[in-house]
A = this chain, B = another copy of it.
Amino acid sequence: MSAQKVDYYASESKIYIATDCIIFGFDNESIKLLVFKRRVAPFEGEWSLIGSFVKNDESVNNAAKRVLREITGLENVFMKQLKVYGEVDRDPGSRCITVGQYALIRIEDQDKALVEKHGAVWHDLHELPDLVLDHNTMVKDALTQLRLRASYQPIGFELLPEKFTIPSLQKLYEEIYQIEFDARNFRKKIIALDVLTKLDEKDKSSSKKGAFLYKFNPTKYNKLLEAGINFKL
């Protein structure tokens, strides 16, 4: 459709456009979601995803990037459109559609002061409070999307620090899918993918022996993609 026809439609167009971010993080224990308690009306005191109206001079995707930057201080974050929530009555205030976008961030990279300043809190994904409007639905949809995407693209690395161990990667996938993997088979499969670079360092924070650190190798991954090889966890 082209808006060069706007004259014919001007009288109809009173629909506001927002974007809401479903922000996932991982703290080596469980998957977290960044939400905040609204400090002003409407829905003062209630939990909500973090979002914004789309401004006239920014793209929908850039609006989401802006929101993320304003809250966490982060740029160049992994973010994908989830879907448009466009029911007529989804927002009792006024007709407003929103574009859900989910983001994967490395919690330790966040600007903690900025996050706190906005009253944003990392909540355990599997024990979320009630959120305003259809935000709980958005989170549910986003998790489904995350699982689907994680099954054909190694996005897990987006949630981990640059250097990570195989056991922590396994833990992450266990949290995403809520099932346990066999450590030997998991390691075998990940190593076989051949997208990791093993480092000489160890992380001894969780065992006396320590676990070797690895780095994700995007070059190798892109070669895989070009060769048309489809990853399957």
Which A residues contact B (CB, under 8 angstroms)?
1-6, 9, 12-20, 41-43, 48, 51-61, 81, 83-84, 86-88, 91-99, 132-133, 148, 152
Q: How many copies does the complex hold?
A: 2
List the B residue with the shortest CB-CB distance to A89.
B59
For A17, the closest partner residue in chain B by CB is B15
- State whether A43 touches B86 (Cβ < 8 A): no
Q: How far, in angstroms, from A54 to B17 measured CA to CA in the complex? A: 12
- A4 cross-chain contacts in B, Cβ below 8 A: 41-43, 91-94
Asked if B6 and A93 make an inter-chain contact with CB atoms under 8 angstroms apart, the answer reads yes
CB distance from A76 to the nearest CB of B (A): 19
- The contact of A87 among B15, B59, B84, B91, by CB within 8 Å, is B59
CA distance A9 to B51 in the complex (A): 14
The smallest C-beta distance from A20 to any residue of chain B, in angstroms, reads 6
B84 engages A13 (CB within 8 Å): no
B42 adjacent to A19 (CB under 8 Å):
no
Q: Are B132 and A56 in contact (CB under 8 A)?
A: no
Q: How far is the CA of A83 from the CA of B59 in the complex (A)?
A: 13
**Cross-chain contact of A91 among B2, B15, B83 (Cβ < 8 A):** B2
User: Cβ of B2 and Cβ of A6 under 8 Å apart?
Assistant: no
